Structure 1
Amino acid sequence: MELKTVKDIEVRGKKVLVRVDFNVPLKDGVITDDTRIRAALPTLQYLLDQGAALIVMSHLGRPKGERKPEYSLSPVAERLGELLGREVKMAPDCVGPEVERMAEALTPGEVLLLENVRFHKEETSNDPDFAKKLASLGEVYVNDAFGSAHRAHASTEGVAHLLPAAAGFLMEKEVKFLSYVLENPEKPFVAVIGGAKVSTKIGVLESLLSKCTAMVIGGGMAYTFLKVQGHSIGNSLYEEESADTARSFLEKAGELGVEVILPEDHLVASEFSEQAKAEYVDAVDIPEGKVGMDIGPRTVEKACARIRGAKTVVWNGPMGVFEFPAFAEGTRKVAEAIAECKGTTVVGGGDSVAAANAFGVADKMTHVSTGGGASLEFLEGKPLPGIEVLKK
């Protein structure tokens, strides 16, 4: 997939409206993780170096069309200014006469951050008039907010029809690596898919199945697959409504000759609790009264052997309840194996990214996606509205 990028447009002396993903975690008005701000810096700095004035816009949280002070982007303006080494002016809103005056007064090298676009319900409804008001602030539009690209909102999709539009470097990178996984992955290609429910990941499983050499399935959803194979899963998570889906998926994998690695041993507990004591079950079947919480060492070794020998690995979802220290080992070992893999390694999805960061291996991956829901939908093969409008 080829996108029009910032390098394809002339921005010198122009006011560039840039959509970024500054949806950062805040505690008592203080940013606790500025990763998303840092991710946008290459695009912002490039535009400034090219002699543009920047009007930056983002959402933060879910204020649901109401002006809520706790969702103000003011702390972001301060942090962005520190990272760029220049003043970032903070607009009182994202539309309106005062904002228009501030945008009009901008000169090359200056930066204006608009207030949270989701303070207006017209943003999420992709209201044409609201999109026009946003577009009127700039002369060129750049979208670098991959994390919001699966939403057809005014600032991510509507504006792109009204101004010359291009992708930022982060958007370009995301599309490049996720497209590689979907379109032409070098083999052996191993997909590592985890998470709680079959229903939320079946789209990714089915999308990747025909491209994979092997697929490792872990997390809560693995127990539904084991159950339809006739194994006992104790009190582990089971989605009865997804049983037929799981059954047909395994049949299709068999027909295609794709190896599906499911848990062959487990760490279990008597209850789903962080305080629960981990017990090892050296068998596929889980005893009555026990809850599967993580993949066991035999399963880990088998999965890691496939991962280390792969030319391409995509990872979406943890192997167990990694947030509980007693049940983190499966996810940690798999994450480390992906980090050691000499091939192209792509991590997508919020929990996988959180795990990669928690285990200190994120910087050893080829690409770590910044978009949870967006990367999931991309890997499912769905068209993303915010990307479709940027295609060449």
Structure 2
Amino acid sequence: MRTVGLIVEYNPFHNGHHYHLQQSLKITESDAVVAVMSGHFLQRGEPALLNKWTRTEMALRGGCDVVIELPVAYSTQAAEWFGYGAVALLEATGVVDALCFGSEAGDIGPLRRVARLLAHEPEAFGRLMADTLGTGASYPAAYSEAVRRFMEAAGDAEAAAFPFEQPNNTLGLHYLLALERLGSAIEPFTVRREKAGYSQTTITDAQIASATAIRKLTLEAASPEGAAPFVPPSTLELLLRDHAIGRGRGSWAQFERQLFHKLVSESAGQLGSYHEISEGLEHRLKKTLPALESLTFETLLEQLKTKRYTRTKLQRALLSVLLGHSKELLAPVRLREGIRYIRVLGYSPRGQELLKRMRKSAKLPILNSAAKFDDPYLELDAHATSAYALGWPDAGPRDLFRDYYDKPVTIQPSARSLV
């Protein structure tokens, strides 16, 4: 059974994701899909619209066979560590033959050439990064410019002109860097992103919209019904189901009180101990809070933003405060050690057969819950579930500790739906 790995958030699973999944199976000539999916908090420092078990069900009904969780220690990181954690999990399964990711360019050639040259962090590239960061550019902008200049010096004009600054191209490069650094035999492929940009908020196609636009549509309307043209029937069904019980509108607005309590009750020194809080941001936070016109996340973000501190970086920093993620626990030296377990969130009937193979070939223990396994990153995942549940006013004790109670999501073959 040839298997392709996907790295996803599915926030929520939409028609564009379904297209990518089907194309991934086709171009890699695979029979099954293993998806590494972020849990309750995501790569740009945002809460997920829906909990990880609902999104797992969306993934399975949309065509995935096994869904494993990318720990929150990696799922909320910038591209380098997000990509490293996800690729390392795919490698650790022992059953993944190919990796297929979406990209704006749809061309893997320049990405692979850059990844081979940068995998072992040449000193010349480090100097270019330092020079570019010294101009006051944000890290993503500095990285793209340093890559351009490095490849120009290497005589690769095509790679130097490649749009590395585009979000999916950036992520793709870091997936390839991770494959190189891990010495993985997984074969990479890419599918061009079509009809909607990564964070495009406007809808310009009758069937394809970005997850950002779909979330905006869902959060601003009284019902998720408006998302119907852009998502498979199974996704709409699950959006409506969670909406009916008051659990289908996850956003930063749900977590403002939790966040502001920590910001005002902790000292600048305590805030400075959290991951992503750097360059005096802790003091800027303390200075900004009393001057806010209203206690909303958006108001705080607007007052904090600078050229260096982009919205995404600030969201990640504030999320670290909310979740209590320390600099020590998420230091590069710790992240480089990797994940010590594979947490299964769900599987299809075909996925059950794949899991039997994984239990023989996997390089890490395979877990069905957070119980009976002691690991600091698994503990962070359980804490993230509790924090996410506290965003809902009617949360009960079982909601706070679902990681210890819930079994993996399973579906029947008839539950899958087509676009």
Indicate whether the TM-score tops 0.5: no
Q: Which has the higher helix share?
A: 2
Q: Which has the higher strand share?
A: 1
TM-score class, shorter-chain normalisation, is under 0.3
| TM-score (normalizing by structure 1) | 0.27
For the pair shown, the structure with the greater C-alpha radius of gyration is 1
Structure with bigger RCO (C-alpha 8 Å, 6+ apart):
2
